[in-house]
C-alpha cells in the first residue's frame, strides 16, 4: 500500500500525510464527477417529468417503479456501514487489530447488502419496463446509480483486501492506520454521495405534481 | 517497515544486492538500459520520456496540419478526400492538444517541480510512472485508429464480412476535437444505436478517457508534491512562478476532467449500449454534450496556457537580471484565470440560443477574464523594463510568446461580444484566434522552456545559431500562416470544410497561409531537431549557464538521481540568485547525508496496470463495432489493471540508500557550482 518514499521519512510541509492529501484531492475530483452525473439526471427529469414509455406503449412514471421502503432500508444500511467504518478506523488508530477486523467485516457485509438491494432494484425496474435503451430516464437513472454502485463495489473490494491483508501482520503502526483511514475517507464519501442521490433522485420525486402533495399519479397509468 | 534499513548505502545502484519485494519477486532496481527506462520512478527520466513522446506527436500532428494546408492551398483541390480531411483536422486538433501540448507541459512539471520546491522526488513516484505509461498507451490507442484507416484504404478489410457493418464514414476520428453530438452520437428509437460516424469515434472516446486518467493521476501527484514536499523555508509565496502555475493547472485538471469523463461515459453508453443521453430520437439533448464538453473544454484552454505563462515568468527575470515584477499579482492573476476559466464555457455556445441573460453573463465574464491576463502581460513588460536584456534563444522565444499571445488575446476579446461572435463562429477567424493563443502563445512558451532548461536536463547547450534561425522561421511562418486567416474568416471562409470554390476572393490568402505553414514546419523541425542533436552531441556546459534564479540551477547538470544531496533551506524568493549575489544564502538541512539518500525502488507494476488500458482501449471500439467476444478483451483489460494495482500494493514500497558524493559537513552543493 505504501507508495511514498518520503511518508515515513521526513514530515510533510503541511503535516498532512501524502496519502490522506491525495485522497482528499481525489474526492474533490469525484465531487465534480458525481455532480455532472446528477446534473444530467436532474436536467432530464425537468425536461421529461412524465417518465418513460414501457414495452407495451404505456406511459409510466418513475414513482410507479420506486419501492421507497426498500431504498430507505438500503440507505440506512449504507449509513450504518459508515458508522462501522468509523469504528474500524478508530480501532486501527488504537492498534486493536481484532476490533478492526470485526468492524471492517461489518462494513463489507453492509456494503454487500446495499449492492444486493441495488441489484434487486435494477432487476425489478427492468421487469417493470425501464431499460437503459427505451428512454432518457432509463439511461440517466441506471448510469448514475450504477456508477455509485461501482464505487461501492470498489470500496467493498478494497476493504476485503485490507481485511485479508490484516492477517499477514503487515498492517500496523502509523502507516497501517493511515491506509485504513484513507479507505475510510473513500467509504464515507461514497456514503455521502448516496445521501445526495437518494434525496435528488428518489425523495424529490415525491414532491412534484405526481407526488404526495399533488394529485397523485394519474389514474390511467395505474 | 524495515525495508530501507537492511541496505548499506551504495555509490551506484548497480552495486545493490539482488532484493526480492514483499511478493517474492526481484525488483528491477539494478537494471540499466531499456529496462531501467521502462521501470523507472525517477521524475527526471519520466519527464524526459514525456517530452520525447510529446515531440513525436508534435511532428505527427504537424504532418496532419501540413496535409490540411496542402489541400487548402488551391481552390477545388483534391489532394485528400473529404473523408480523409475530416479525419486529418480531427486528429490534428486532438493530437496537438492531448498528445503534444499537455504531455510537453507534463514533461516540465515532472522535471522541474520537485527541483524547484527542493524535493528529492514527487510524492508518489510509482503513480507518476503509471501516469506516463497510461498516457503512452492512451496515445497509442488513439493513433492506432489511423492503422485501421490505412488498412481500409489499402483494401485489406474488403474480404471481411464484418467490414460493411462496422464503418459508415471513418476509421480514424472525424468529428472534430470536440466530437459534438449528435454527429458523434446515435439516432433511432429503442436502443437501435444507429450511428452517424464509424469506429473512429469509439477510438476517440476511449482514447481521451485513458488520457484523462493519466492527467488526473499526474495532477493529484503534483498538487501533493507542491503542497506537501516543499523544502524548509519554501513558503507558498516563495515558490517559483512555474511551480505556482503547475499547481493552478493541476487544480484545473482535477476539477475539469471529471466533466469530460462523464460526458465520454455517457456517449460511450449511447454508442455501445444503446442509451439515449444524446440521442435526439429519444429526447436526448445534443446541447448537453456541448455544455459538458466545454465545462471541461474551456478550463482545458487554461490548462494548456498556464504552464507556458509559468515558463515565461521564469525566463524573463533570468535574462533581464531583474526579479519578476509584481510576483504576488502574477500568482494571484494565474489563480483568478483558473477560477474564471470555469465560468466562461458558454461563450463557445453563443449561437446555440442560450437566451439573453446567460449570453450577457457569459459575455461579461469572458471580458473579465482578459483582465488578469492583461495584468500578467503588463507585469512581464514591467519585468523587462529597465533590465539588461540578453537575447538568448529562450529569451527570444519568450518575447515572441508575449507578442503573439497578446494578438491572440485581442481577437479573443472580440469573441466575447456575442453579436460579433455569431458572425465569427465556425469561420477561419476563430482558427486564427486560437492558433495565436495555442501556437504563438503556448508552443513558443514551451519552446522557450525547452531551450531554457535543456542545459539543466542534459548538461549540454543547444546550438544558438540554429536556435535563432528556427525561432525566426517559426515566428515568421506562423504569422504568415495564421495572420491571413483573420481576413479569410471575416471574408466568410468556413472551418472544417475540405475545399472551397474559386471566385470568393480567398485564393491568394489561402495560398499564402499554406506557404507560411511550410515555413513554420521547417522552423519547428529546426527547433526540435536542434534539441535532439543537443541531447546527444551538444556542447557540454556548466551547471548554471544562464545565471539562473531558482533552486534547480544550484544542482549539477545533469541532475543526480537524488536531486539534493542535502535538503536545502530557503530564506527568500529566487533563492539561488540571492545565494549568489545577495545576503541570504541557501542553508543545508542536516538530514543524515553521510548515511546516504533514500531512493524509491523501481517497479514493473505501474506499467503493468497501465497495460490494462491497452486492452480496454482496443476492446471498447471493437465491442462497438460488434466484433464477437470483444467484451472479453475489455474485461481482461480490467483484470490486468486490477492485477497491476494489486501487485503494486503488495510488493511494498522498497527503497535503497544511495551514497552522495558530498558527505555531511562538506561544501554545500550551491558552493561547488558558484562562479
Q: Domain ranges in chain A?
A: 18-43+76-213
The answer to whether the beta carbons of residues A59 and A218 sit under 8 Å apart is no
CB pairs under 8 A, 24+ apart, for B624-627? B624/B199, B624/B202, B624/B271, B624/B272, B625/B162, B625/B165, B625/B166, B625/B199, B625/B202, B626/B162, B626/B165, B626/B166, B627/B162, B627/B166
Task: Answer yes or no: is the ipTM higher than 0.95.
Answer: no
Q: What is the mean pLDDT of residues A58-74?
A: 87
Q: Contact A47/B266, CB-based, under 8 Å?
A: no
| DSSP per-residue string spanning A108-152 | HHHHHHHHHHHHHHHHHHHHTT--TTT-HHHHHHHHHHHHHHHHH
Distance from CA of A68 to the nearest CA of B (A): 25
Distance from CA of A174 to the nearest CA of B (A): 10
Going B124 to B127 to B129 to B135, the CA torsion angle's sign is negative
Say which CATH topology domain A18-43+76-213 has.
1.20.120
Q: Contact B255/A28, CB-based, under 8 Å?
A: yes
Q: How far is it, in rounded angstroms, from Cα B443 to Cα B307?
A: 11
> Taking CA atoms, what residue in A is nearest to B126?
A3
pLDDT at A4 > cutoff 50:
no
DSSP assigned state of B588:
E
The answer to whether the beta carbons of residues B118 and B234 sit under 8 Å apart is yes
Residue B667's pLDDT is what?
41
Q: How far is it, in rounded angstroms, from Cα B252 to Cα B256?
A: 6
Give which of B58, B40, B56 is closest to B110, Cα–Cα: B40
The answer to whether the beta carbons of residues A156 and A108 sit under 8 Å apart is yes
pLDDT digits (tens, 9 = 90+) for B599-612: 889 999 999 999 99
Most B-contacting residue of A2, A11, A32 (CB-CB within 10 A), to test interface:
A32
- B368 CB-near residues (< 8 Å, 6+ apart): B340
Q: How far is it, in rounded angstroms, from Cα A99 to Cα A95?
A: 9
Give which of B255, B252, B230, B256 is closest to B243, Cα–Cα: B230
Give which of B136, B204, B138 is closest to B170, Cα–Cα: B204
Distance from CA of A19 to the nearest CA of B (A): 9
> Taking CA atoms, what residue in B is nearest to A8?
B1
Residue A56's pLDDT is what?
81
Residue A2's pLDDT is what?
40
Q: What is the mean pLDDT of residues A76-86?
A: 97
Residue A217's pLDDT is what?
58
Phi/psi for B295 (5° steps) reads: -60, -35
Give which of B455, B435, B432 is closest to B543, Cα–Cα: B455
Residue B11's pLDDT is what?
79
Q: Contact B123/A4, CB-based, under 8 Å?
A: yes
pLDDT at A61 > cutoff 50:
yes
Distance from CA of A67 to the nearest CA of B (A): 24
- Expressed in percent and rounded to 5, the helix, strand and coil fractions of chain A are 75, 0, 25
Q: Contact B259/A36, CB-based, under 8 Å?
A: yes
The answer to whether the beta carbons of residues B203 and B145 sit under 8 Å apart is yes
- In DSSP terms, B461 is beta-bridged to B539
**Beta pairing class for B186-187 and B194-195:** antiparallel
CB contacts, 8 Å: B124 with chain A:
3-4, 18, 22
Q: Contact A30/B258, CB-based, under 8 Å?
A: yes
CB contacts, 8 Å: A131 with chain B:
191
Low-confidence ranges of chain B (pLDDT < 50): 1-5, 663-675
Q: Write down the pTM of the prediction.
A: 0.93
Q: Which of A10, A48, A139 sits opposite B277 (nearest CB)?
A: A139
Amino acid at each position: 500500500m505504501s507508495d511514498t518514499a518520503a511518508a515515513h521519512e521526513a514530515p510533510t510541509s503541511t503535516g498532512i500525510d501524502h496519502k490522506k492529501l491525495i485522497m482528499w484531492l481525489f474526492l474533490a475530483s469525484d465531487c465534480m464527477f458525481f455532480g455532472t452525473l446528477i446534473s444530467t439526471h436532474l436536467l432530464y427529469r425537468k425536461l421529461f417529468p412524465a417518465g418513460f414509455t414501457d414495452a407495451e406503449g404505456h406511459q409510466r412514471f418513475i414513482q410507479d417503479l420506486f419501492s421507497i421502503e426498500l431504498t430507505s432500508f438500503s440507505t440506512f444500511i449504507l449509513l450504518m456501514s459508515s458508522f462501522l467504518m468509523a469504528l474500524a478506523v478508530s480501532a486501527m488508530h488504537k492498534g486493536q487489530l481484532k476490533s478492526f477486523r470485526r468492524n471492517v467485516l461489518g462494513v463489507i457485509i453492509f456494503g454487500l447488502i446495499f449492492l444486493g438491494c441495488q441489484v434487486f432494484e435494477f432487476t425489478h425496474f427492468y421487469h417493470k419496463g425501464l431499460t437503459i435503451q427505451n428512454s432518457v430516464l432509463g439511461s440517466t437513472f441506471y448510469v448514475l446509480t450504477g456508477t455509485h454502485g461501482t464505487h461501492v463495489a470498489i470500496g467493498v473490494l478494497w476493504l476485503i483486501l485490507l481485511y485479508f491483508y490484516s492477517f499477514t501482520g503487515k498492517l500496523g503502526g502509523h502507516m497501517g492506520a493511515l491506509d485504513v483511514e484513507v479507505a475510510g475517507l473513500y467509504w464515507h464519501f461514497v456514503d455521502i454521495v448516496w445521501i445526495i442521490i437518494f434525496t435528488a433522485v428518489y425523495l424529490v420525486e415525491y414532491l412534484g405534481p405526481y407526488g404526495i402533495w399533488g394529485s397523485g399519479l394519474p389514474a390511467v397509468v395505474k | 517497515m524495515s525495508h530501507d534499513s537492511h541496505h548499506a548505502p551504495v555509490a551506484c545502484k548497480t552495486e545493490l544486492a539482488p532484493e526480492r519485494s514483499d511478493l517474492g519477486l526481484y525488483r528491477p532496481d539494478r537494471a540499466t538500459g531499456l529496462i531501467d527506462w521502462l521501470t523507472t520512478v525517477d521524475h527526471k527520466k519520466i519527464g524526459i520520456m514525456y517530452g520525447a513522446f510529446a515531440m513525436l506527436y508534435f511532428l505527427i500532428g504537424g504532418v496532419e496540419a501540413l496535409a490540411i494546408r496542402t489541400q487548402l492551398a488551391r481552390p477545388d483541390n483534391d489532394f485528400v478526400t473529404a473523408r480523409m480531411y475530416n479525419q486529418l483536422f480531427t486528429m490534428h486538433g486532438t493530437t496537438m492538444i492531448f498528445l503534444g501540448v499537455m504531455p510537453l507541459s507534463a514533461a516540465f512539471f515532472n522535471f522541474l517541480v520537485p527541483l524547484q520546491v527542493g524535493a528529492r522526488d514527487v510524492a508518489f513516484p510509482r503513480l507518476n510512472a503509471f501516469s506516463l505509461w497510461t498516457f503512452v498507451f492512451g496515445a497509442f490507442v488513439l493513433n492506432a485508429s489511423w492503422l485501421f484507416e490505412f488498412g481500409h484504404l489499402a483494401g485489406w478489410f474488403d474480404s471481411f464480412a464484418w467490414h460493411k457493418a462496422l464503418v459508415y464514414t471513418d476509421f480514424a476520428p472525424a468529428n472534430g476535437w470536440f466530437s459534438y453530438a449528435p454527429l458523434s452520437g446515435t439516432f433511432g428509437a429503442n436502443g437501435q444505436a444507429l450511428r452517424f460516424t464509424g469506429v473512429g469515434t469509439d477510438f476517440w472516446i476511449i482514447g481521451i478517457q485513458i488520457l484523462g486518467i493519466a492527467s488526473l493521476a499526474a495532477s493529484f501527484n503534483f498538487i501533493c508534491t507542491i503542497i506537501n514536499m516543499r523544502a524548509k523555508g519554501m513558503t507558498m509565496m516563495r515558490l517559483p512562478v512555474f511551480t505556482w502555475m503547475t499547481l493552478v493547472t493541476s487544480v484545473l485538471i482535477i476539477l475539469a476532467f471529471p466533466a469530460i469523463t462523464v460526458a465520454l461515459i455517457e456517449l460511450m453508453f449511447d454508442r455501445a449500449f444503446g442509451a439515449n443521453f444524446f440521442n435526439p430520437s429519444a429526447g436526448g439533448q445534443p446541447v448537453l454534450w456541448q455544455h459538458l464538453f466545454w465545462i471541461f473544454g474551456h478550463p482545458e484552454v487554461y490548462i494548456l496556457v498556464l504552464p507556458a505563462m509559468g515558463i515565461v515568468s521564469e525566463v524573463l527575470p533570468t535574462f533581464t537580471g531583474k526579479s519578476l515584477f509584481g510576483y504576488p499579482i502574477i500568482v494571484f492573476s494565474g489563480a483568478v484565470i483558473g477560477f474564471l476559466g470555469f465560468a466562461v464555457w458558454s461563450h463557445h455556445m453563443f449561437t446555440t440560443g442560450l437566451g439573453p441573460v446567460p449570453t450577457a453573463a457569459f459575455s461579461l465574464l469572458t471580458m473579465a477574464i482578459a483582465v488578469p491576463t492583461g495584468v500578467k502581460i503588463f507585469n512581464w513588460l514591467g519585468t523587462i523594463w529597465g533590465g539588461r536584456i540578453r537575447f538568448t534563444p529562450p529569451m527570444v522565444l519568450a518575447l515572441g510568446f508575449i507578442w503573439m499571445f497578446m494578438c491572440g488575446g485581442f481577437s479573443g476579446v472580440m469573441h466575447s461580444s456575442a453579436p460579433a461572435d455569431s458572425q465569427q463562429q465556425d469561420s477561419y477567424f476563430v482558427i486564427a484566434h486560437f492558433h495565436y493563443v495555442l501556437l504563438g502563445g503556448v508552443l513558443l512558451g514551451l519552446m522557450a522552456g525547452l531551450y531554457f532548461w535543456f542545459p539543466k536536463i542534459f548538461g549540454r547547450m543547444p546550438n544558438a545559431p540554429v536556435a535563432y534561425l528556427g525561432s525566426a522561421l517559426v515566428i515568421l511562418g506562423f504569422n504568415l500562416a495564421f495572420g491571413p486567416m483573420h481576413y479569410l474568416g471575416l471574408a466568410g471562409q468556413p472551418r472544417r470544410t475540405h475545399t472551397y470554390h474559386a471566385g470568393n476572393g480567398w485564393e491568394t490568402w489561402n495560398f499564402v497561409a499554406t506557404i507560411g505553414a511550410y515555413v513554420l514546419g521547417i522552423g519547428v523541425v529546426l527547433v526540435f531537431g536542434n534539441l535532439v542533436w543537443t541531447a546527444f552531441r551538444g556542447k557540454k556546459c556548466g551547471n548554471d549557464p544562464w545565471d539562473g534564479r531558482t533552486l534547480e540551477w544550484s544542482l549539477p547538470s545533469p541532475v543526480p538521481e537524488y536531486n539534493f544531496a542535502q535538503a536545502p533551506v530557503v530564506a527568500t524568493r529566487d533563492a539561488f540568485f540571492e545565494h549568489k549575489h545577495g545576503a541570504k544564502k541557501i542553508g543545508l538541512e542536516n538530514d543524515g547525508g553521510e548515511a546516504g539518500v533514500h531512493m524509491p525502488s523501481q517497479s514493473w507494476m505501474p506499467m503493468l496496470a497501465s497495460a490494462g488500458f491497452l486492452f480496454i482501449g482496443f476492446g471498447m471500439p471493437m465491442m462497438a463495432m460488434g466484433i464477437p467476444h470483444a467484451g472479453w478483451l475489455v474485461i481482461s483489460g480490467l483484470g490486468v489493471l486490477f492485477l497491476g494495482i494489486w501487485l503494486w500494493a503488495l510488493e511494498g514500497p522498497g527503497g535503497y540508500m544511495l551514497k552522495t558524493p558530498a558527505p555531511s559537513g562538506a561544501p554545500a552543493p550551491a558552493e561547488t557550482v558558484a562562479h
